């Protein structure tokens, strides 16, 4: 995956959207084409894609009108009908109507004895869908600085703000998914980055949205020399907070950890979510107190490039069923930065990390 950076001075949603859309018009059109083709391969009818996109966009407009305005401006500047960018923004909600699996691994330490959060995540997806991604830096109208990684057309995935909060993002599946049209989960992630400084504030934002797809936001904060972290699991059936273990670690892959929501988990049989969770748990002790680059190596453990958290596409599978680790990212919450490598943790450990 090739990453593009954009630092914009635009503080208003429409102005920002027009700049993003104009700067990256070809990439936005390409991402829309790829997702529409992917939905068709999964057997999701064109009319259902349009209906879900329109419904989720209406839900977004009611819940966060500025984010809907930004999406519409991106589409306008890129020369697309607004629903086509809305469909990428609601891609998780559309995908929730078809069988599928999602693979990402997150590990966050809130050191019990004090100190900044120590984090790492792999973002695993189809490189046929996301050959290029966006690193976006901006300031809100209220003056808050935000830096994030996302796809062209989605509001946010992984990021930090200058109020001492960082956020990782993993997809989940629940039996309650796919009914109706809800607020896109990527927009919820964006609003958390724009407005929250604490885990409680992040939870309140997430809980205020009606969703039709599941995800988990693993949030870390750092104030007064103390780190806090929690995973906020969201499903149409409800919202739950998962706290760190006694050692300060919060680990998350792609199955629910809250015991109530876990009863409706719809993870597919071919997922390796539980195996990746076990790997991260075994690796966690070796990751404590490391630099971001060292943490990436410890995340792989003795398996190195063959670690289960270093996913590589199976060339024997159809392209839309091939999964790979497209991004490894660590959040520097007090430093207001993302340290990243477009590749696996093993590649990050060997080649180093770039900073945004």
pLDDT of residue 101: 66
Residue 179 has a pLDDT of: 85
**pLDDT-flagged residues of the chain (< 50):** none
- pLDDT tens digits, one per residue of 175-201: 999 988 999 999 999 999 999 999 999
Q: What is the pLDDT of residue 322?
A: 76
pLDDT value, residue 140? 98
pLDDT score recorded for residue 102: 72
Determine how many CB atoms are found less than 10 A away from the CB of residue 285: 10
CA distance readout (Å), 108 to 2, 69, 174, 281: 26, 33, 23, 11
**Domains delineated in the chain:** 9-95 (no CATH), 103-355 (3.60.60.10)
* pLDDT tens-digit map of 58-69: 999 999 999 999
pLDDT for the residue 270: 78
């Amino acid at each position: 995956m090739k990453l593009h950076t954009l630092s914009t001075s635009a503080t208003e949603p429409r102005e920002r959207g027009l700049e993003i859309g104009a700067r990256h018009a070809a990439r936005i059109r390409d991402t829309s084409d790829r997702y529409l083709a992917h939905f068709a391969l999964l057997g999701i009818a064109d009319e259902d894609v349009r209906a879900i996109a329109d419904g989720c966009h209406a839900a977004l407009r009611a819940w966060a009108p500025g984010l809907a305005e930004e999406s519409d401006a991106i589409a306008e500047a890129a020369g697309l009908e607004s629903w086509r960018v809305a469909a990428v923004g609601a891609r998780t909600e559309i995908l929730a109507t078809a069988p599928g699996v999602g693979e990402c691994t997150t590990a966050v330490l809130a050191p019990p004895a004090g100190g900044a959060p120590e984090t790492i995540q792999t973002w695993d997806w189809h490189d046929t869908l996301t050959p290029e991604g966006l690193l976006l830096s901006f300031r809100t109208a209220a003056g808050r600085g935000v830096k994030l990684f996302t796809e062209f057309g989605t509001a946010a995935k992984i990021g930090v703000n200058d109020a001492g909060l960082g956020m990782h993002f993993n997809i989940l599946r629940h039996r309650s998914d796919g009914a109706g049209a809800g607020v896109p989960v990527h927009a919820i992630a964006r609003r958390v980055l724009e407005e929250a400084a604490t885990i409680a504030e992040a939870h309140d934002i997430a809980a205020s949205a009606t969703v039709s797809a599941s995800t988990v936001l693993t949030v870390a904060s750092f104030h007064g020399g103390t780190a806090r972290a929690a995973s906020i699991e969201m499903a149409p059936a409800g919202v739950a907070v998962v706290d760190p273990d006694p050692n300060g670690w919060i680990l998350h892959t792609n199955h629910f950890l809250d015991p109530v929501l876990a009863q409706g988990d719809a993870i597919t049989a071919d997922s390796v979510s539980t195996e990746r969770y076990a790997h991260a748990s075994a690796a966690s002790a070796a990751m404590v107190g490391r630099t971001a680059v060292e943490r990436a190596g410890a995340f792989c453990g003795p398996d190195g490039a063959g670690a289960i958290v270093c996913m590589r596409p199976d060339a024997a599978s159809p392209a839309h069923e091939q999964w790979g680790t497209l991004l490894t990212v660590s959040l520097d919450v007090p430093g207001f930065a993302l340290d990243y490598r477009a590749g696996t943790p093993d590649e990050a450990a060997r080649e180093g990390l770039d900073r945004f």
